[in-house]
Amino acid sequence: MDVEAADLSLAAVAGAIADPARSRMLCALLDGHARTATELAALADIGASTASGHFARLREQGLVEMLVQGRHRYYRLANAQVAQAMEALLALTQHSAVPFKPNTPSALRQARTCYDHCAGEIAVRLHDAVLKAGWLSEQGKDYVLSEQGAEALAALGIDVDAVQQQRRRLAYACLDWSERSPHIGGALGAALLELMLKRGWVSRHLDSRALHLTPKGAGGMAKAFGV
């Protein structure tokens, strides 16, 4: 890229950030959570029809990416570099971003079922822990299970071969609607929930998707996954 092209590229990115509505949207995404178009429009104090143009501009400049989860569309920062750039700009202004505060009922927020796997705070922490431990790694839009991960899960009582042979995706990042961060979906996500239920780590609520983390489960999850 020559100097002139670099200058134009910088100007385009700076212009995308400079708009007050778009800068508020970007700051709202600094916590790493994804947000809906409606939420971001409300935070930016603009209408939904106006917001669509702003989202297009931010995506065009590679500042945000869109995630489709069922009928919903979420937006999050495109990568860590964008977050670092925004943090640096905020440091110059001596302001900090307002943290994300979910308003999901506490029982559902802690743990709940998401189809056949676990969602909520516990599931997001579990997701982050197994990736950090190297049990799973990203491959495109899916996760692949490492040899270390397969051995660890087998030691916990999960039939890894049976899970891998299912005619469905093994594991993928399923965006958590309360935490706005991913938990584990797919065959492995279902197997992990089954394990948690069988061991009495969580129990189901009647007439609700909520799951209750038992005292036994708090210790078991900490020992098995470090969460």
The 10s digit of each residue's pLDDT in 25-73 is: 998 887 777 889 888 999 889 998 899 899 999 999 999 999 988 888 8
| Percent over 70 (pLDDT), the chain | 91
pLDDT band at residue 74, thresholds of 50, 70 and 90? very high
Q: Is the pTM of this model over 0.85?
A: no
Write the CA distances from 145 to 152, 172, 173, 187, integer angstroms: 11, 11, 13, 12
CATH of 3-93, one of 1.10.730.10, 1.10.287.110, 1.10.10.10, 1.10.3720.10: 1.10.10.10
Query: Could you tell me which residues are beta bridge partners of residue 67?
Result: 74
Choose among 48, 46, 50, 83: nearest CA to 65.
Answer: 83
Q: How many Å apart are CA 83 and CA 85, to the nearest integer?
A: 5
Query: Residue 75 pLDDT > 80, yes or no?
Result: yes
**pLDDT tens profile 139-174:** 998 999 999 999 999 999 999 999 999 999 999 998
Angle between helix 20-28 and 80-93 (nearest 10): 120
Domain coordinates of the chain in residue numbers? Answer: 3-93, 106-225
* Confidence at residue 99, expressed as pLDDT on a 0 to 100 scale: 60
